[in-house]
Amino acid sequence: MNKTLSPAEVTELLHAVPMPPRTLTRHEKLSVWANAVRNHPFQLDMLHGIEHMHPSNYYLLSTNGTTIFDVATKNPVLNAAGLTSNNVGDSVKFFELSPNELHHLSCDCHGAVTNEHVASRIDYLAKTTTVSRD
């Protein structure tokens, strides 16, 4: 005979065994990021001169709260997948970005771009990423 659990008992069971966060593929991470950028209500800032930086210096870059990296960090799906810092170096590692991809997504060398345009760039990376799980 099965007993119906009360809401309190269900909650207790859910918290009794911690579930590991689901591992997202690169394709999934980029898709979530693109949607977050696309739906952000304010124009996001771009970075300056990133193409001249050595990748080890990405960890020294701080953002001002209004970049695509800040939007990613505030996304609960990406947080649950392990992105907890808006540090550019951490984002490069999390999204598996090459220096050229980082430059293409975040640099201001061609002037300001809309959030939709940046989201389209991220979408393009997602579409060109293998979607299979290893």
**pLDDT (tens digit, 9 = 90+) per residue, 1-38?**
567 778 887 777 677 766 666 689 999 999 999 999 99
And the tokens for 62?
Answer: 């701080």
- At 78-104, the pLDDT tens digits run 999 999 888 899 999 999 999 999 999
Residue 74 lies in a domain: yes
| pLDDT at residue 134 is higher than 50 | no
pLDDT tier, 39 (very low <50, low <70, confident <90, very high otherwise): very high
Q: Within a domain: residue 19? A: no
- The per-residue pLDDT for 64 is 80
Per residue in 42-80, pLDDT tens? Answer: 999 988 888 898 998 898 887 888 999 999 999 999 999
Q: Which of 67, 129, 121, 59 is nearest to 93 (CA)?
A: 59
Inside any domain, residue 96: yes
Asked if residue 49 lies in contact with residue 102, where contact means CB atoms within 8 angstroms, the answer is no
Which pLDDT belongs to residue 112?
A: 80
Give the predicted TM-score (pTM) of the model.
0.79
Res 60: pLDDT:
84
Q: How far is residue 76's CA from residue 57's CA, in Å, rounded to a whole number?
A: 27
Examine residue 98 and state whether it is found in any structural domain, yes or no.
yes
What is the extent of the structural domain holding 62?
24-127
Residue 18 counted as domain residue:
no
Measured between alpha carbons, how far is 134 from 131 in angstroms, rounded to an integer?
Answer: 10
For residue 15, is it within any domain?
no
Q: What's the structural domain count of the chain?
A: 1
Residue 2 lies in a domain: no
| Any domain includes 84 | yes
